[in-house]
Amino acid sequence: MVGSAEAPYRLRPCEAADATAIVDLFHRSFQAPYDLEIWRWKYQRSPWARPELSVVAQLESGEIIGHFGAMLHPINLVGQPRLAAQGTDVMIDERHRRRGAFRELFEAYLEGIVAAGIPACLGFPNEHSLRGMHLAGHHVAIMEKYHLPLDSPHHARLRERVNAVPEGSRFRFEFNPHYQLDARYDAVWRSCSELESLSVWKDRDYLTWKYDSAPAPHRLFTLEFGGEIVALGVCRERENRADVLELLARDKNIHAARELLLSLADHYLGRRFEELRFVGRDPWFFAEVFADFERRPAFWGHVFVRAANRGEAFLYENPLNWTVASGDSDS
């Protein structure tokens, strides 16, 4: 047993029967939607799910007062997939906070990750767990925030930049606002993976689970040439804006990515949306692609990484190696 003498608890692997109690704890901890469907999608329906690697803290009475979730998925290491664990739904009942429970939960979680042979774990902490994550992992990024108010000077500058490509050098791309994942996407991801040192492994299996089977609806868009896909975007539609969660272009072609963004902006303007948003960071690509968007710095969008093998910390915990986007987080 760990915890205080007044409220001892034990740490143990998560079980399917804990799901309802975890959902209840989430509702007490955060002001955000969460239900059994989301829990099952994260921890049971993923092709890489290992629900027993999540950890709960349970009082002698049986009440669950802490949780550290392990959402497994592959990451890309210069064109090769490796399994990683994303620490998610980290929460402690308010009555038991600031007594060392976060550290105990994290150490139990990390012990299971190391025993399972998983080389790295990621975290996208909110403001509640940010302090604890600074003690548990290496801070590799604060993601950049890009906004494009539609029918604005920023929108016009993006159009000008796309149209500035000389006519003789410009391809006639086709915009597909109703794309369904198929084998044509494979070449896009393969070309991107070889140009990224570390990123989430976004092959068809991953995108199918992450977006087609997710409880929240998403839309996929493509830019195509000769029947082949040259760029893909994934959007989540809000009341008056569209969040671009993923943006991939074949061979990380900046012009193709910009033209897809212009097509998205025109598409959503026609539907009377007000804004496109993107949150992400990498060593070079996103800053160029989103150069005409309005950049709005903010102190959120943190990314932490912890290498299970300290001998590989130089690789996984190096900020210059990572390409990340808001779609990479569990939310």
Residues 191 and 262 in one domain: yes
Q: Is the pLDDT of residue 168 over 70?
A: no
Q: Distance between CA atoms of 85 and 48, rounded to whole angstroms?
A: 10
Q: Torsion-angle region of residue 168: left (phi > 0), alpha (psi -120 to 50) or beta?
A: alpha
Residues 165 and 133 in one domain: no
Residues 95 and 194 in one domain: no
Distance of CA 42 to the CA centre of its chain: 12
DSSP letters for 59-100: ETTS-EEEEEEEEEEEEEETTEEEEEEEEEEEEE-GGGTTSS
Q: Look at residue 318 and tell me if it is in a domain.
A: no
Mean pLDDT of the 91-98 span: 84
The last residue of a domain, from among 92, 126, 142: 142
Q: Look at residue 313 and tell me if it is in a domain.
A: no
Mean pLDDT of the 150-162 span: 97
Most confident of 28-37, 60-69, 98-107, 159-168: 60-69
Residues 180 and 283 in one domain: yes
Give the largest CA-CA distance in the chain. 76
Tally the domains of the chain: 2
Residues 208 and 180 in one domain: yes
Q: Look at residue 163 and tell me if it is in a domain.
A: yes
Q: Whose structure tokens read 């042979």?
A: 117
Which residue, among 103, 30, 97, 34, has the nearest Cα to 65 in the 3D structure? 97
Least confident of 12-26, 36-50, 129-143, 294-308: 129-143
Q: What percent of the chain has pLDDT over 70?
A: 97
H-type alpha helices, the chain: 19-29, 36-43, 101-115, 130-136, 153-163, 185-193, 204-207, 254-270, 285-289, 313-316
CB atoms within 10 A of CB 184: 15
Predicted confidence at residue 246, as pLDDT, reads: 98
Predicted confidence at residue 7, as pLDDT, reads: 63
Structure tokens given for 100: 């060392």
Residue 3 — pLDDT band, cuts 50, 70, 90? Answer: low
Residues 123 and 148 in one domain: no
Residues 21 and 129 in one domain: yes
More confident residue, 131 or 55: 55
Domain that holds residue 48: 2-142
Q: Look at residue 132 and tell me if it is in a domain.
A: yes
Q: Look at residue 314 and tell me if it is in a domain.
A: no
Predicted confidence at residue 250, as pLDDT, reads: 97
Q: Is the pLDDT of residue 276 over 70?
A: yes
Q: Look at residue 222 and tell me if it is in a domain.
A: yes
Predicted confidence at residue 6, as pLDDT, reads: 56
CB distance 203 to 188 below 8 Å: no
Q: Look at residue 315 and tell me if it is in a domain.
A: no
The last residue of a domain, from among 142, 175, 194: 142
The last residue of a domain, from among 83, 111, 142: 142
Least confident of 121-125, 167-171, 295-299: 167-171
Q: Whose structure tokens read 């105990």?
A: 104
Residues 264 and 153 in one domain: yes
Residues 102 and 185 in one domain: no
Mean pLDDT of the 269-284 span: 96
Q: Look at residue 253 and tell me if it is in a domain.
A: yes
Q: Is the pLDDT of residue 63 over 60?
A: yes
Residues 87 and 221 in one domain: no
Residues 259 and 239 in one domain: yes
Residues 217 and 267 in one domain: yes
Number of H helices, E strands in the chain: 10, 17
Mean pLDDT of the 84-106 span: 88
Residue 118 belongs to domain with CATH number: 3.40.630.30
